[in-house]
Amino acid sequence: MSRLIVISNRVSAATGQLSGAQGGLAVALTAALREYRGLWFGWSGELTEEFTGQINFNREAGVTTATVDLEEQDVDEYYNGYANRTLWPLFHYRIDLAEYERDFAGGYQRANERFAHTVQPLIEPDDVVWVQDYHMIPLGLELRKLGCRNRIGFFLHIPWPPRRLLNTLPEARQLVETMFAYDVIGFHTDEWLQSFREYAVAECRGSYSDGVMAVGDQKVLLIVCPIGIDAKEFTELANSEAARGVCERMQESANGRAMIVGVDRLDYSKGLEERFLGYERFLVDNPEERKEVFLLQIAPPSRDAVESYQRIRAGLEGLSGRINGAHADIDWVPIRYVNQNYPRDVLAGVYRAAKIGLVTPLRDGMNLVAKEFVAAQDPDDPGVLILSRFAGAAAQMKQALLVNPHSAEEISDAICTAISMPREERVERWRKLQKINLEQDVRWWRQRFTDALMAAPVRERAPAQ
Ligand code: GDG
């Protein structure tokens, strides 16, 4: 049987001490790697004076990880630069925040070449290679240049931007052309796939038929493959003693008021400012309801080496302070805004205690918080999910209250609807949402992708460069 080689920027085999965004993904990939006797390769997160390509092997939770240290300049240009200051904002439609620097593009290319040279000797002829996310777009081509004929797939965890936005990136076409070295490319939604397809057809002379994009003599299968969570595990977590304790504590501190919860990495794509403004609109427009609710926003800081993240953090502190100053009373504060990272069982208990989950990103590849909120609910008395129609999750979670996150009025209206929603309707909506959560979970996702990849024809030869 073929081995699976997963390649991603950061590596985190599931050891039982999962935290943050790696949680569900690490569980899914670890399970796949165990099944296929695989290997997980990526950056160690550590710096080195001079890049040597020396690999640190580790065996964790039944999975072999192989990591490599990077030079400070690589991290500045590749990770903090091109990945997080160029591609992340651009792919989330924020060309106002995107920084286009040749040094970033050069560092990104160099880091990907270094990854390819380092991992290539570890790849055996029958192995199947799965590259993850926007940090590594050109990696497949770099491996092909080194003679790798294995099946190589790529999965994009973030949105694919519309063609006209992508064209603002000076090297957009060259970047997209590197992707034809893959055998399969996966997207969370049909919308992201269609944007990729439109770009490839219009700008790279691609032709598309039956899910296959052909460019010259290269063919790549495009698939929609929405990621899920480990819904069963998360539901169990929400029923654990620790989570129940947290839930009770939250209910006590809510003092009979309905808790609205938001949980997001502190990132401008998550629409936190717009969410606060929508909530404020609700307070202003519904004076009789306002002291019946409060918003708990958990927002652990991320990427704080990047200036736009420092700005959003300062902006949110100002905005939550202003809203609390304007609307609070001696016995009530409208927003509890917390910049901390909590263990997963605490999050599960918090979700469970909430009457409303407010998940309103301006743009999101998928959004796993929406799925976790659903998985954590009490089946007999579930809370209501308010979800941005611009999150990939909206394509699957149609029984949520879908809103335009830019509209304070829509957010406010949805909060009103959620607060007064009868129990039967809440239960009915929740059942459908949880059914999809369980059916299309994280294992379904990786099986769908690896099945497509394993079925791809093996390349006869590496493309000439
Ligand atoms: C990218 C894409 C796509 C958050 N705060 C805490 C904490 N979290 C966890 C959540 C959730 C994860 O982080 C966030 O996942 P999202 O999917 O919401 O967002 P991104 O981090 O932007 O992820 C996204 C995803 O990749 C997968 O493809 O869905 O669209 O942007 O699991 O629970 N976890 C803990 N403490 C916190 O305080 N433990």
Separation of 21 CA from ligand 1 center, angstroms?
Answer: 4
What pLDDT shows up at residue 353?
Answer: 98
Q: Is 230 in the pocket of ligand 1 (CB under 6 A)?
A: no
What pLDDT shows up at residue 21?
Answer: 46
What pLDDT shows up at residue 19?
Answer: 44
Tokens linked to 133: 């996310």
What pLDDT shows up at residue 302?
Answer: 85
Tokens linked to 38: 């695989």
Please report how many Cα atoms fall inside a 13 Å half-sphere around the Cα of residue 391, on the Cβ side.
Answer: 29
Residues in the chain: 465
Whose CA is closest to 129, among 64, 186, 53, 183? 183
Whose CA is closest to 354, among 302, 298, 313? 298
Separation of 44 CA from ligand 1 center, angstroms?
Answer: 20
- Nearest-CA residue for atom 14 of ligand 1: 21
Separation of 434 CA from ligand 1 center, angstroms?
Answer: 18
Q: Residue 43 CB: number of other CB atoms within 10 A?
A: 21
Contact 384, 424 (CB under 8 A): no
Contact 55, 67 (CB under 8 A): yes
Q: Is 27 in the pocket of ligand 1 (CB under 6 A)?
A: no
Contact 102, 94 (CB under 8 A): no
Contact 316, 272 (CB under 8 A): yes
- Nearest-CA residue for atom 32 of ligand 1: 21
Domains and CATH numbers, the chain: 4-228+443-454 (3.40.50.2000), 231-439 (3.40.50.2000)
Residue-wise pLDDT tens for the chain (465 aa)?
689 999 999 887 655 444 444 555 776 788 778 778 889 999 999 999 999 999 999 987 778 999 999 999 999 999 999 999 999 999 999 999 999 999 999 999 999 999 999 999 999 999 999 999 999 999 999 999 999 999 999 999 999 999 999 999 999 999 999 999 999 999 999 999 999 999 999 999 999 999 999 999 999 999 999 999 999 999 999 999 999 999 999 999 999 999 999 999 999 999 999 999 999 999 999 999 888 999 999 999 888 888 888 899 999 999 999 999 999 999 999 999 999 999 999 999 999 999 999 999 999 999 999 999 999 999 999 999 999 999 999 999 999 999 999 999 999 999 999 999 999 999 999 999 999 999 999 999 999 999 999 999 887 755 545
In whole angstroms, give the CA distance from residue 359 to residue 376.
15
- Give the position, in ligand 1's atom list, of the atom nearest the Cα of 157: 28
Q: Is 158 in the pocket of ligand 1 (CB under 6 A)?
A: yes
What pLDDT shows up at residue 262?
Answer: 98
What pLDDT shows up at residue 14?
Answer: 59
In whole angstroms, give the CA distance from residue 295 to residue 297.
6
Maximal CA-CA distance, the chain: 73
In whole angstroms, give the CA distance from residue 393 to residue 400.
10
